[in-house]
Amino acid sequence: MHDGSGRILVQQLHKSFGPLTAVQNLDFTVEPGSVTGFLGPNGSGKTTTLRMILGLLKPTSGAAYVDGVPFARLHHPARTVGAVLDSQSFHPGHTARNHLRCYTAATGLPDEQADRVLELVGLSSAAGRKTRGFSLGMRQRLALATALLGDPRILILDEPANGMDPEGIAWLRGFLKAYAATGRTVLVSSHLLREMEHTVDHVVIVSRGQSVYNGSLEQLRATQHSRVLVRVSDPVALTSMLRGTGAGAEYLHDGRLAVTGVDARGMADLALRAGVAIQELQESSGDLEQLFFQLTEGQFTGSDQPFGPPGVTNPDGSAQQPQQWRHRPTPQQPPGRQAPPPQPPPQPPARPPAPSPWAPHGAEQPPPDSPAATSGPPGLGGGYGSRPERPEQHGGQREHEQSCDGDDTHGGEAR
Amino acid sequence: MTGLIRAEIRKMLPTNLWWALLLPVAPWSLLVAWYGTAIGRVDMIQEITGQALPTGLLAMSLATNYSTIFAALLGALVMTRESWHRTVTTTFLTANPRSSVLSAKLVVCLALAVVYGVVNAVFGFLGGFLGGTLGSGSGGVGGLDQWLLIGGAGVLATVLWALVGFGFGALVNNSVAAVLVLVFYKFMVDVLASVVLAGTELSWLSSYLPGAASNGIVGNLAVPMFISEVAGAREPIVPAQAFQQLHAIFGGSYGFSWWGSALVFAGYAALLCGGATLLIRDREIH
């Protein structure tokens, strides 16, 4: 019988499709009361896992439990767990209301519930329109509305932000946090940690079907050492000074030094002792996205060509191109290596991690420390643009989030 | 269960599938029955045979044996279009166990098939009535009881075809494949198989093929009915060949009862639906 815990439990889950292993040795628990991110690159087995939890796919071995029982044994599945798996699953000839009323009937809910969830996701005005003409963002909202019909204790979402506009993404984040804050369970998958960073409290990171990290986001962030970015009049003098103190220093392509092992104040003292003038000083906390890339690196063998073809436009300006060429090819872990050992959080890298080797060169993300590293409008909330280091950007983003959703109980997360 | 049935009705009614497939049935049955009845009453035939012939009954059998394909397609699409539109994910997420969904769909499919069968019968009656009243001379239309019997058998055949389509669709889980195979099978494979078997020792087998069995439900009623109408008291001396030739065109086989055909065909329907229920329990939904 249901244990009423609202917990999702995945035990030694294993799934193969013929010779292809999609998921192996996966173990994790999703507890109620918080948003859990299920992260990993495309093809890492996220969707397969979610579909196994929901009883749509049969595990090769292992088991998944929802509210204490396998999905197939839930008496009122829609009232226990709601899921957004596929934003395309509507009959084009149905209106949004028609679509929802199919499932209110199937689950024995009052028909008014259809209009209630439409209002909840902001689709009231489109209730009478056929889903044929819905945009991707509207489909995502309707899929979410479908999942919410039974007011489930557990909500499972597979890449729910795909196709949503920035406003929709910000809304969704607030919604999920508020939903979890009522003591319910939310498991949301994404291939972008950045997209989830301000929404989730816990993360399960998978790569090649295996769990590589399972724990709180705070802990993960703590494994990343903070650095001080500094521009000085005489970097050479400063680095020789730093070498004596045991602090690590690295040149960035824009001429700044990234120093680990000291804080900003210590940095200023050191610079004074070295007799160099500080032109710019900035503290930088660990970049989760980079850590995420490292954890999930090397999934695809095609990644041993980390660079775009010459002549690809660089948003930083072509003058930096040669330097970037020097910096980018310093992968600490050669691509194509074995998957990192599962469980305990890996040791933080001593140096700032190399950019993702398989990042599409079209994205051409500038190195993380570049001050010019902004793409996308500020309102994007870091959802899709590369995440800037500048704190004022984040302030603006949080304001945006809160203005979009007053229920955002967690507010902006301290970084 | 009533909730699931209501859900299936709500899925079906706002879409145009059910009426689009029903649309051809009405004019088809009307025209075939009309023309079929009228042809038995033209002067030339009356001169040759000395009486008007109730060919409308035979025509009705022909009309039914073709129009059942629409019910079969409806049945096939009831399940496969959920996979096609990927709504099957939500359907299975909102109902446990999966077989309950299948049962609900089956009920809706049956109800719609009855509608198809009734439309076929009603428009057939109408055609027969028009053919009977508009022509010259009298008689040669057949009695109301005969038309009711044939119409009723038509409803049964339609319902069973819907079940066969449903089971087959749920088994293959692919709209295009299900539609193509059903049409090809009904109008080509089954007919060709009967032809091939005809001259061999296995010719008895052809009555047990799905298509032949389904055609037999109405055909095995209509043909003997027609012959007894025409031959009257001379019925016992009518040669078997006369039966066989009529059966070849209008369905059924000589000496086979209509309910025998119905049982055989119901067996196929049960086999397919049962197989689908078993298979769908473990089907992976990607």
DSSP for B127-166 reads: HHHHHHHHSSSS--S--HHHHHHHHHHHHHHHHHHHHHHH
User: What pLDDT shows up at residue A395?
Assistant: 37
Distance CA A243, CA A241 (A): 5
Interface of B to A at Cβ within 8 Å reads 3-4, 6-7, 10-11, 14-16, 81, 85-97, 282, 284-286
User: What pLDDT shows up at residue B37?
Assistant: 83
Alpha-carbon torsion (B57, B62, B66, B68), positive or negative: positive
Asked if residues A36 and A200 have their Cβ atoms less than 8 Å apart, the reply is yes
Contact A103 B94 (CB under 8 A): yes
User: What pLDDT shows up at residue A307?
Assistant: 56
Nearest Cβ partner for A105 among B10, B15, B285: B10
User: What pLDDT shows up at residue A287?
Assistant: 67
For chain B, the 3-state helix, strand and coil shares in percent, each to the nearest 5, are 85, 0, 15
Is residue B47 assigned to a domain? yes
Q: Which of A91, A104, A130, A154 is the mutation pick for testing B, counting most B CBs within 10 A?
A: A91
This model's pTM is above 0.90: no
A382 in the Ramachandran plot: left (φ > 0), alpha (ψ -120 to 50) or beta?
left
CA distances from A42 to A46, A203, A262, A358, A386 (A): 8, 16, 37, 11, 18
CA distance B70 to chain A (A): 20
| Mean of the per-residue pLDDT values of chain B | 88
Asked if residues B118 and B21 have their Cβ atoms less than 8 Å apart, the reply is no
Contact B85 A55 (CB under 8 A): no
Q: Which of B16, B93, B96, B101 is the mutation pick for testing A, counting most A CBs within 10 A?
A: B93
Structural domain spans, chain A = 8-221, 225-284
User: What pLDDT shows up at residue A258?
Assistant: 81
CA distance A306 to chain B (A): 32
Chain B residue with the nearest C-alpha to that of A156: B93
Contact A102 B10 (CB under 8 A): yes
A281: part of which helix (H) or strand (E)?
A: strand A278-284
Using an 8 Å CB-CB cutoff, list chain B residues near A149.
Answer: 94
User: What pLDDT shows up at residue B117?
Assistant: 94
User: What pLDDT shows up at residue A270?
Assistant: 84
State both tokens at A214: 């399972």
Chain A residue with the nearest C-alpha to that of B5: A106
Contact B96 A73 (CB under 8 A): yes
Q: Which residues of chain A register pLDDT less than 50? A: 301-305, 312-415
Contact B96 A72 (CB under 8 A): yes
User: What pLDDT shows up at residue B198?
Assistant: 79
What angle do the packed helices B144-172 and B258-281 form, to 10 degrees? 20
Reference B101, options A63, A82, A78, A51; nearest CA is A78
Contact A91 B11 (CB under 8 A): yes
Chain B residue with the nearest C-alpha to that of A74: B96
pLDDT band at B267 (very low <50, low <70, confident <90, very high): very high
Is residue B286 assigned to a domain? no
Domain that holds residue B60: 2-281
Distance CA B220, CA B199 (A): 21
State both tokens at A388: 């800037």
CA distance A79 to chain B (A): 8
The one-character DSSP state at A227 is: E
CATH of A225-284, one of 3.40.50.1470, 3.30.70.100, 3.40.50.2300, 3.40.50.300: 3.30.70.100
Alpha-carbon torsion (B106, B112, B113, B118), positive or negative: positive
The angle subtended at Cα A254 by Cα A253 and Cα A259, nearest 5°, is 75
Buried b / exposed e along A331-348 (16+ C-beta atoms within 10 A): beeebeeebbebeebeeb
CA distance A301 to chain B (A): 25
- Is A98 near chain B, with CB under 8 Å? yes
Q: How far is CA A403 from the centre of its chain?
A: 22
Distance CA B168, CA B177 (A): 10
Q: Higher model confidence: residue B80 or residue B238?
A: B80
Alpha-carbon torsion (A377, A380, A385, A387), positive or negative: positive
Q: How many domains does chain B have?
A: 1
Q: Which of B94, B279, B282 is the mutation pick for testing A, counting most A CBs within 10 A?
A: B94
Using an 8 Å CB-CB cutoff, list chain B residues near A108.
Answer: 3
Q: Read off the pLDDT of each residue in B92-109 and give the average, rounded to a whole number.
A: 92
CA distance A293 to chain B (A): 27
> Hey, which of A249-253, A297-301, B247-251, B280-284 has the most confident mean pLDDT?
B280-284
Contact B96 A86 (CB under 8 A): no
Q: Which of A50, A74, A102 is the mutation pick for testing B, counting most B CBs within 10 A?
A: A102
Contact A58 B3 (CB under 8 A): no
Q: Residue B253 burial (CB < 10 Å; 0-12/13-18/19+)?
A: buried
Chain A residue with the nearest C-alpha to that of B83: A89
CATH superfamily assigned to domain A8-221: P-loop containing nucleotide triphosphate hydrolases (3.40.50.300)
Nearest Cβ partner for A91 among B3, B6, B15: B15
Nearest Cβ partner for A91 among B3, B85, B89: B85
Residue the block writes with tokens 């719609």:
B112
Give A61's strand partners: A14
Q: Which of A88, A89, A95, A107 is the mutation pick for testing B, counting most B CBs within 10 A?
A: A89
N residues, chain A = 415
Please check the confidence at residue B254 and state whether its pLDDT lies above 90. no
Which amino acid is residue A116, in one-letter code?
R
Q: Read off the pLDDT of each residue in B226-254 and give the average, rounded to a whole number.
A: 82
